[in-house]
Chain A
Amino acid sequence: MSYDEDLSRNPIFQRLESKFPTLLAEAPFKSFLFCIPKNAIAQEIDIQDGDILNYVLKPLNSSPESGIQSYQTLTKKRVEVRGRNLHLKQGFPEARIARILFEETFYNIEDKSYQVLCVDQPFEGKPTSQVILQPEELLDPNECYKFLTVGGGQNIIGIENYIQMELSNFLHLSRFRQGVSLRHMLDMVSAVITRLVMICLKYSAIHRKYCEDKSYIDILRLAVENVVYFEIYPKLFKVVCGLVSKEDGELNKVTRNLAHIEATDLEIKSQFCFNFPKAKRELAKMTSLRTPYQKLWCMHETFQILSQPTPHSNEPMNADDILPLLVLLIIHSDIACWYGNISFMENFYLSPLDKEKYKYCISSVEAAVEFLRSGNLKIDRFRKALFIQNEGTQVTQKNTTTECSIDNFFELIYQDNFSKIQDTLDSLQNSHLKELCHPLCTCDRCQTHLATAHSHRNVGAVTLCSCDDWGRGPLHIAALVGNEKVMELLLNYGAQPISQDYHGSSPLHMACQKGHIKATMLLVDRGAPTNLQDNSGNTPLHLASLYGHDACVKALVFQSPARKLNPYNEKGDTPLHIAARWGYEDIVILLLESGASWEARNKDKEVPKDCAQNSAIQTVFKDYIFRTRGADDMLYAADYSKRMTLPSLKRSSTFSSPMGFRRSNNVFRTTTSLQIKKNHMIEREMNLVFDAISTGKENLVREMMGWEKTDMTCSIDTESSCELNNSTCNGVCHPLCKCIKCTAEQNTETGLTIAMASKSGQTFLHMACLHGNYSLSKLFIIKGADVNTRTYAHKHTPLHLAAQYNHSGVVKLLIENGAEIHAKDVNGCTPLHYSATNGHTDSALSLLDNGASPNENDIRNNIPLHNAAKWGHTVMVECLLEHGSLVDKYNADSLMPIQITQSDEVITILESYQNKQKRVSARRNSLIDSLNTESDITSSMNYIPVSPVSVHDNIKTVIPDPPIEDLRPYSKSIFTIPQLTSKTKVEAEVASTYLTAGPTTSLT
């Protein structure tokens, strides 16, 4: 079909028109068929008028079944049509085969039509040597070179080298990279093709050929085009894909999630599926092909295979059938860049040959791809998998069993019939005990009851452990459906999130595969293992990455330390490989930022970057690697400058330090990119630990710290005995010890240690004390945490925090373990000051009972009583007074507690106490007086204000409030709502969100 010419300019046809008008007029009625040799031949051969009748065919009775149609020329010679070839038979001087180039329908003035065929051989005389090269023969680039070398009929030596040289120059000069527009690339490519065609035409042999046959130029162009694309493809294609990477990512997400679709789901008639595997094999070649022509040809072949008649039916296939087949084919193909391929084929196939035909190919593929991406295709695979296979049996069973079978139960979960599920679960737990006289009763009635209950159980009642034919339990199904309410219920009833089905999938696998984010979070929260591998070695993270659920990836990544982000599956792929391969840019970024390794190699020795199909993803990797390396270079520069003693640059090294580790000063000089990465990781993991502490997840904390499961089983008390001995050598019995505990300790690749502190100097113990987590605090102390570490800016010890948030148990624990009870922070406040300020009597009492002095001064000479009085904590005031606090202590502003309070109650308490004291002292004084001379009672009374209320009115505005400033880093809310101390829990939450805001924002 590629050959075309204007038959009205063909000399033979012109002769026919002028000499035999009657023949043409008769043609529509007599079904004449005119065979015209193509123009180039017709020019050469000399045909007599009589001979022209040889080229007019008349149909004979034919048998279309055999595919052969017989004709007779008007000179009674026999011609057979087989396929697209004319076989010249009896009557002709030699048996010859002429190919039909194209056929054309002519309409005469009366709108009657007759057919004209254009053939590539004359029927008589010398056969032509002109062979029209079919474009298909140029599929292989080597053939193209061969064509260019010898196609002109003369051996052109060196043309191949010349072209390759041109192309390498071209590649050298033109940069195909992310961000170059399609139009720009297209112009660059078409310019080089034009140039090369021009060069080829300079060779006289090729030019002569062109003069003989105009259609030669199309073939030449195609050959050059193929050669060019073959050379530049590696650079060009990924950039073309990069332009549509978003679309490809979306499409891949859809196709991955539809991976288990079948032909019946798309209403494809079964007889058309016969050719499907073959077509799939053909299509699989697509990725290795390099020129648009090859790719188009591959698509075209695939179409052809799909539409081949099958042994099961002779029904012709039409567009209605092809499109669904194509959709299915795209889902099952492992091609990750359909949009890239379409764009490449559509825009970069420049040759005009068969363009319309290929356009149809592309449009069909595009239609199928668009159809998929629009998300209109939703197949309820789950439901089918679950129920269709049972449908037959269910019908019969339904009548016989009223008991709740596993299928019915799954159906309930599927329908989200919450109350009924709960009933079922309730009945599970109690049914066989409820009706007994006593759980241990063995009377006849109870025995029979039990017996029947057990026999019923055999019939079909469900338990939380019962599973279907695939080994899936109720929790699996709920996770598959994504019904987190039911999941929570099941978990509360004791379902195990660790159970695996026959494929090795845990409920977490299913939730991640289906992208149910809430279900995922619930399972992770309930301790479902995130590193469990299914039969093909995939962890939930692999699945979430494969199916493109970035929310699930986020949930999984957030909860796991960086060392767990690089699990290998069967093929050695890490989640990062998978995400890169399918073009999920968001997930790639997420994984990289969370510390997944970009250097991990799979079994094909590919790093994740090699898996990337387009330049957009590659750019993400490049940027990331550059950033880590770039920081490294910067540091080297800084380090270098330091050695060169350039004081102005000295700061930059410390400035660029990613975090303010206390130890980093000496570590810093040897910093490598690895170190930076590690610091970054450590920071991230510390934040995770902080987060875990604030939510009280002890197991997670242990896991993160590398105190593995063996510890978990033994109680803290037993642990304490052995651990305390070890704490001296940092938790390891011996540097080379390989006991379980020690290997766990050594395995912490990231190296979180108990002594680590955040940027502000907070240790894990600080955090645990802040949240009043007794067991964690104890754990940390056992593991060797220093109870008297201080934060950098405010110099808070853990005891300050525990006192401030009223965790009396933790206060006691700290004091028992040697915390300084009178530790002063940057404002000179002791823990008791904080208790007093916040009115936390519990913590104050535990401090006081353990020997805290109530009369310690802060930097402004306030004693705790000042603070308690100022914020109007009556109970606290009483408590302090009881423990011997000085009622008439002056602070730096020469004010006594009574002068800075606003609460009448406190005033009365203080006054009555003062009076009592006065009385006591008066009595004592009088006693002394009676013994000594009258002295300075009056002088001591001078300072007592005449009217406390008026004084305090005056002073209100000048009260300095150092405690307020102190509290800022821990809670903003404290100085705004100091009265609401009963809501410490709320504050703690506020504080925790405030503290953990860092890692969350960096992740989102």
Chain B
Amino acid sequence: MAERLSLEYKVVLLGEGCVGKTSIFLRYTEDKFSEKHDVTLQAAFRTKKLTLSGKRVSLHIWDTAGQEKFHAIAPIYYRDSRGAILVYDITDANSFDRVKIWVKELRRMCGSDLVLAIVGNKTDMERDRHVQEQNAIEYAGQVGAKHFHCSAKLNKGIEELFLDLTRRLISSQGESNYNARSPTRPQPSLDIVDDTPEEKRNSCC
């Protein structure tokens, strides 16, 4: 029986430290059913399963370290990823500049297939806004990304952000190209194993 494979996407959260990447991440993946002590990497890595218009999707969401000094090692995190969420703080113009640097780097390293979302966080502090909304949206349009506003504190806009990202991931991938696991590294022996029992079963059942 041909089981429907789920689509798996790796999504990285990038952005300067303190812009609230982790808050967005935690808010979205908030797991009501995990024990207090069982945080199992939950702080930085979670898998979210979705069923969206009849398709099963697994989002592997990676939170990354945003400090400037760790910038050089970021490729280790974002390699193989299908989508990236670039977070900035609307009250901090510098963080938006960092986003621009990220966009350039990602486009260079990962090509144009990468699905980008630029997110202005902390809309609850609208009166301290230092990044012009119009500018940000225009910039996102130029680089082929989609712009969102959200507030991790008030849990606003996050669900929509990920839903849209997932949609775009699915459409960028295309129906035909179901890619189950790790696109770069083929599973060495998975296929062979699957075949053997199949034959066996026919013969003995």
Chain A residues within 8 Å of B, Cβ to Cβ? 1, 4, 6-9, 67, 69, 81-84, 100, 102-107, 109, 111, 113, 117, 186-187, 190-191, 193-194, 197-198, 201-202, 204, 207, 210-211, 214, 217, 221, 300, 303-304, 307-309, 316-320, 322-324, 350, 352, 355-357, 359-361, 363-364, 366-368, 370-371, 374, 376
Is B148 engaged at the interface, CB distance under 8 Å to the other chain?
A: no
Is there contact, CB below 8 Å, between B200 and A367?
A: no
Given contacts A81-B33, A113-B159, A320-B17, contact A371 B70 (CB under 8 A): yes
Identify the closest chain A residue to B10 (Cβ).
A356
- Checking A81, A304, A324, A352 against B181 with a beta-carbon cut-off of 8 angstroms, the contacting residue is A352
Q: Which residues of B contact A210 (CB under 8 A)?
A: 197
Contact with A along B146-164 (1 / 0, CB 8 A): 0000000000000100010
Known contacts A113-B159, A193-B189, A320-B65; A105/B72 CB under 8 A: no
Q: Given A350-B188, A367-B77, does the pair A319, B43 have CB atoms closer than 8 Å?
A: yes
| B residues in contact with A194, CB < 8 Å | 189, 192-193
Q: Bound state CA distance, A317 and B63, in angstroms?
A: 11
* Docked-complex contact B77 and A190, CB < 8 angstroms: no
Minimum CB distance partner of B80 in chain A: A359
Query: Among residues 42 to 65 in chain B, which have CB atoms less than 8 Å away from a CB atom of chain A?
Result: 42-45, 47-54, 56, 58, 60, 62-65
**CB distance A307 to B41 under 8 Å?**
yes
Residues of chain A within 8 A (CB-CB) of B70 are 323, 367, 371
Q: Which residues of A contact B69 (CB under 8 A)?
A: 371, 376
Partner of B33 from the list A4, A83, A324 (CB cut-off 8 Å) is A83
B182 within 8 A of A: yes
Residues of A with C-beta under 8 A to B49: 102-105
Which residue of A201, A204, A324, A371 is within 8 Å of B196 (Cβ)? A201
Q: Is the CB of A198 within 8 A of B182?
A: no
Q: Are B39 and A1 in contact (CB under 8 A)?
A: no
**Chain B residues at the A interface, C-beta cutoff of 8 Å:** 3-4, 6, 8, 10, 17-18, 21-22, 25-26, 31-45, 47-54, 56, 58, 60, 62-67, 69-70, 72-73, 76-77, 159, 163, 181-182, 187-190, 192-194, 196-197, 200-201, 204-205
Contacts of B36 in A (CB 8 A): 67, 83, 309
Show 18 residue pairs from A and B whose CB-CB distance is below 8 angstroms, ordered by the A residue. Answer: A8-B51, A9-B3, A83-B35, A84-B34, A197-B193, A198-B196, A202-B200, A211-B201, A214-B3, A307-B44, A319-B43, A319-B66, A352-B190, A355-B181, A357-B45, A363-B77, A364-B44, A371-B69
- Chain B residues, Cβ within 8 Å of A211: 201, 205
The residue on B at minimum CB distance from A111 is B163
Q: Are B35 and A319 in contact (CB under 8 A)?
A: no
Residue of A nearest to B49 (CB): A104
Alpha-carbon gap, A324 to B69, bound state (A): 10
A360 / chain B contacts, CB cutoff of 8 Å? 41, 44-45, 60, 62
Q: Are A350 and B76 in contact (CB under 8 A)?
A: no
Looking at the complex, which one of A82, A111, A322, A350 makes contact with B65 (CB distance below 8 Å)? A322
With A104-B51, A106-B51, A207-B197 as known contacts, state yes or no: A4 contacts B6, CB within 8 Å.
yes
Q: Contact: B76 with A363, CB < 8 Å?
A: yes
Contact B43–A318 (Cβ < 8 Å): yes
Q: Is the CB of A105 within 8 A of B21?
A: no
Please state if B189 and A300 are interface contacts (CB–CB under 8 Å).
Answer: no
Q: How far is the CB of A584 from chain B (nearest CB, A)?
A: 24
| Residue contact A107 to B50, C-beta cutoff 8 Å | yes
Please tell me if the beta carbons of B41 and A361 are within 8 angstroms of each other in the complex. Answer: yes
Pick from A1, A107, A187, A356: contact of B53, CB under 8 Å: A107
Give the nearest-CB partner of B38 in chain A.
A83
Question: A318 CA to B112 CA in the complex, in Å?
Answer: 29
Complex Cα spacing A152 to B67, Å: 51
A-side contacts of B38, CB under 8 Å? 83-84
**B76 engages A366 (CB within 8 Å):** yes
| Apart from A8-B56, A201-B196, 16 more pairs, CB < 8 Å | A8-B51, A82-B35, A104-B50, A104-B51, A105-B49, A105-B51, A106-B51, A107-B163, A117-B33, A194-B193, A308-B39, A322-B43, A364-B44, A367-B65, A367-B70, A370-B73
Q: Is the CB of B65 within 8 A of A319?
A: yes
Contact call A318/B44, Cβ cutoff below 8 A: yes
| 3 A-B pairs closest in CB distance | A83-B35, A318-B22, A360-B45
Chain A residue at minimal CB-CB distance from B18: A320
- Closest chain-A Cβ to B172's Cβ sits at a distance in Å of 18
Assembly CA distance A186 to B60 (angstroms): 26
Contact A207 B34 (CB under 8 A): no
CB <8 Å contact, A84 and B35: yes
Give the residue of A8, A69, A111, A202 whose beta carbon is less than 8 angstroms from that of B32.
Answer: A69
Query: In the complex, are the beta carbons of B39 and A83 less than 8 A apart?
Result: no
Chain A hits for B21, CB < 8 A? 318-319
Q: Is the CB of B44 within 8 A of A319?
A: yes
Complex Cα–Cα for A945 and B139 (A):
104
User: Across the interface, which residues of B come within 8 angstroms of A190, CB to CB?
Assistant: 188-189
Chain B contacts of A370 at CB under 8 A? 72-73, 76
A316 interface neighbour in B6, B43, B67, B194, Cβ under 8 Å: B43
Query: A67–B32 Cα gap in the complex (Å)?
Result: 9
Q: Do A6 and B3 have beta carbons less than 8 Å apart? A: yes
* CA of A356 to CA of B31, assembled, Å: 18
In the complex, which residues of chain A have a beta carbon less than 8 angstroms from the beta carbon of B204? 204, 207
A8 to B55, CA, bound (A): 10
**Nearest A residue to B74, CB-CB:** A367
> How many angstroms between the C-alpha atoms of A303 and B18 in the bound complex?
21
Give the distance in Å from the alpha carbon of A1 to the alpha carbon of B45 in the complex.
13
Question: How far apart sit A714 and B36, CA to CA, in the bound complex (Å)?
Answer: 78
Chain B residue numbers with a CB within 8 Å of A197 are: 193, 196
The winner among A191, A194, A308, A324 for most chain B CB atoms within 10 A is A194
Residues A371 and B72 in contact in the complex (CB < 8 Å), given A304-B41, A360-B44, A363-B77: yes
Expressed in whole angstroms, the Cα–Cα distance for A6 and B49 within the complex equals 11
Q: Are A376 and B44 in contact (CB under 8 A)?
A: no
Chain B residues lying within 8 Å of A319, measured Cβ to Cβ, are 21-22, 43-44, 63-66
Decide if B200 touches A201 in the complex (CB within 8 Å): yes
The one of A4, A8, A304, A320 in contact with B66, judged by C-beta atoms closer than 8 angstroms, is A320
CA A194 to CA B190, docked complex, whole Å: 9
Q: Inside 8 A of B192's CB, which chain A residues have their CB?
A: 194
B33 near A103: Cβ-Cβ < 8 Å? yes
- Which interface residue of B31, B60, B72, B76 has the most chain A CB atoms within 10 A? B76
In the bound complex, residues from chain B placing their C-beta under 8 Å from that of A356 are 8, 10, 45, 47, 58, 60
Give the nearest-CB partner of B159 in chain A. Answer: A113
Bound together, the chains give a CA A527 to CA B33 distance in angstroms of: 70
CA distance A67 to B36 in the complex (A): 7
- Contact check, A308 vs B37: say whether CB atoms are below 8 A apart: yes
- Please indicate the chain B residues that have their CB under 8 angstroms from the CB of A104 in the complex: 49-51, 56
Query: Which residues of the partner chain B approach A106 to less than 8 Å between Cβ atoms?
Result: 50-51
Residues in B with CB closer than 8 Å to A355 are 181-182
Q: Is there contact, CB below 8 Å, between A201 and B197? A: yes
A371 to B189, CA, bound (A): 33
